[in-house]
């Protein structure tokens, strides 16, 4: 399957995104993108990465860049394909319903899904999210409000939450 791969410079380092059949299927910081590609290949089969020119006009890149300048709803307009199990897609959809600047716990997400004892499964689905930022897995916290489990690292998670809080209050 052809996978168009683009990149954007951000305050947190290069961010890569991948599209298949016109829909975004992967977004991750460059140092975590290989893991996203491997997960996509397990679900989609053999991938043929094709680089997008940085100079080419691109709505996905523009929307991601707008998010970093404070337009927190810019990501809502990105056409995505959730590539995962039924349970993972349910968790990821629930994450997308959390407004910018807000957070929740893995346990609260599990209760939202009608699976009150599935906090660990929700955490695992959160960790398998291939659409960092677009599916805002950084908005999920530990039961006591602690920053836990972000593939891009806890410093990035802290920055992302502070960024959203700053612009959500405007």
Where in the sequence numbering do the catalytic residues fall? 137
What the block records as the tokens of 21 is 């059949």
Structure-derived torsion over alpha carbons of residues 96, 97, 103, 109, reported in degrees to the nearest 10: -90
Closest CA to 82 of 39, 118, 131, 48: 131
Q: How far apart are CA 126 and CA 124, in angstroms?
A: 5
Percent helix / strand / coil, the chain, rounded to 5: 45, 20, 40
């Amino acid at each position: 399957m052809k996978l168009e791969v683009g990149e954007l410079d951000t305050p947190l380092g290069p961010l890569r995104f991948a599209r298949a059949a016109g829909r975004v299927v992967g977004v991750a910081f460059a140092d975590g993108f290989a893991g996203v590609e491997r997960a996509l290949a397990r679900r989609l089969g053999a991938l043929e990465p094709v680089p997008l020119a940085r100079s080419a006009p691109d709505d996905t890149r523009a929307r991601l860049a707008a998010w970093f300048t404070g337009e927190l709803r810019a990501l809502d307009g990105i056409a995505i394909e959730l590539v995962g199990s039924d349970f993972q897609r349910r968790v990821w959809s629930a994450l997308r319903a959390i407004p910018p600047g807000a957070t929740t716990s893995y346990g609260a997400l599990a209760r939202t899904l009608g699976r009150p004892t599935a906090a660990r499964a929700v955490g695992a689905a959160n960790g398998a999210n291939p659409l960092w930022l677009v599916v805002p897995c950084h908005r999920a916290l530990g039961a006591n409000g602690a920053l836990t489990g972000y593939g891009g690292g806890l410093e990035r998670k802290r920055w992302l939450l502070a960024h959203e809080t700053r612009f959500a209050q405007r």
